[in-house]
Amino acid sequence: MMKIGFIGLGMMGNPMAHLLAQTGHTLAVMDLNAATAARFAAEHAGASVAGELKDFGDADIVITMLPDSNAVEAVVLGNAGKPGLLSILKKGATLIDMSSAEPMRSRKLAQTLQDKGLQYLDAPVSGGVKRAVDGTLAIMVGGDAAVLAQCEPVLKTLGKNVTHVGQHGAGHAMKALNNYVSAAGLVATVEALQVGQSFGLDPEIMVAILNSSTGKNNTTENKAKQFMLSGAYNSGFSLALMAKDLGIAMGLGESVGFDMPLGDEVLQIWRDANEALGKGADHTEMYRYFRNRKQ
């Protein structure tokens, strides 16, 4: 069995850490909110709280599930004069970054870790809170195949599909591009539903027809009725995070010299919605945003 550290017990991280706690591995957890980490440890026999990064010094694997590259780099490289995991982890330990981070920065971070005798995988996820709970996330992995082989049993506790997509940074690149396609499809679906309703179509019937026709997509199948038409708006993934991931995708396009005109338009729509709806809005509230725009 392994000694695993897990940093970031948010809406996705908490159920993921819960699954790891069921496997018998020694698990230490950390969160910006110390009470959250304490509550998790109290609810999971065998889990402990890492009060400081140095408590991960004997870990075989440390998993980060954090908001962005800035947060990841603060933990790995150190922040405000405090040492990071780079100078704390034992030789041969592996950092698995499951956050949604910037691919180019992930590549650089991987090299920095390797220079210190540490291993790195970027392994972001897709599937939302529901699939985090039942361990069926899609996990896209960048890094050395041999390192992935060592860590795959742990990752398969969290995801049904674990796919090696390339070298360091490739996982984060794939995640950003996946979310771009998903976000563009969501906007197209929302626009179609609003136009159809204005014409007099029943949105429930529209969704059913889209799901039996060529317009079927992740939004029509898993979000439209469940979170939008119902007015629940509680999918568990924030609008701000979607806008952030879109920014990463557009930045990736720019870094490789590829113009993304549709992507630029989609990003602006999400940024405008994020500004209008405010902090904490679920990404499915894009439906409400478009409805109010019509008014």
Tell me the CATH architecture of domain 174-294.
Orthogonal Bundle (1.10)
Tell me the CATH architecture of domain 3-167.
3-Layer(aba) Sandwich (3.40)
Q: What number of other Cβ atoms are within 10 A of residue 46's Cβ?
A: 12
- Residue 294 pLDDT grade (very low, low, confident, very high; cuts 50, 70, 90): low
| pLDDT score for 293 | 82
3 state DSSP class of 161: strand
Q: 172, 96 in Cβ contact below 8 A? A: no
Token pair listed for 138: 């899609």
What percent of the chain stands above pLDDT 90? 95
The residue type of 50 is A
The catalytically annotated residue of 91, 108, 160, 175 is 175
- Whole-angstrom distance, CA of residue 157 vs CA of residue 208: 34
Q: Above 90 in pLDDT, residue 121?
A: yes
| pLDDT score for 51 | 94
Token pair listed for 228: 């939008």
Contacts for 5 with CB less than 8 Å, ≥ 6 apart: 27, 28, 29, 30, 50, 55, 56, 59, 61, 62, 63
Smallest CA-to-CA distance from 270 within 190, 173, 171 is with 190
Residue with more model confidence, 139 or 81: 139
- Whole-angstrom distance, CA of residue 219 vs CA of residue 237: 13
| Alpha-carbon radius of gyration of the chain | 20
Q: Above 60 in pLDDT, residue 219?
A: yes
The average pLDDT across 1-25 equals 95
- The pTM of this model reads 0.93
175 flagged as catalytic: yes
Q: Per-domain residue ranges for the chain?
A: 3-167, 174-294
Token pair listed for 83: 């040492």
Mean of per-residue pLDDT scores for the chain: 96
- Whole-angstrom distance, CA of residue 210 vs CA of residue 163: 29
